[in-house]
Amino acid sequence: MRKASEASVVEGKGGLAPRAERSEDPSASVPEPVQAAWDAAVARWDDPARHQALLGLVAQHSCFAWAAARYQERAGDPIADKQIERLRSSAMATMFATAAARKKDEPTPFRGTVLLLIALLVAMLLGMLIVKSIHDRGPPPHTQKAH
Task: Tell me how far apart the alpha carbons of residues 120 and 126 are, in angstroms, rounded to a whole number.
Answer: 10
Task: Tell me how far apart the alpha carbons of residues 8 and 10 are, in angstroms, rounded to a whole number.
Answer: 6
Residue 98: band (very low, low, confident or very high) from pLDDT cuts 50, 70, 90:
confident
Nearest Cα neighbor of 83 from 69, 99, 95 is: 69
pLDDT 10s digits, 121-145: 999 999 999 999 888 887 766 766 6
Q: What is the pTM of this model?
A: 0.52
Beta strands in the chain (DSSP E): 7-9, 16-18
Nearest Cα neighbor of 72 from 82, 60, 63, 80 is: 80
pLDDT 10s digits, 19-52: 333 345 555 688 999 999 999 999 999 999 999 9
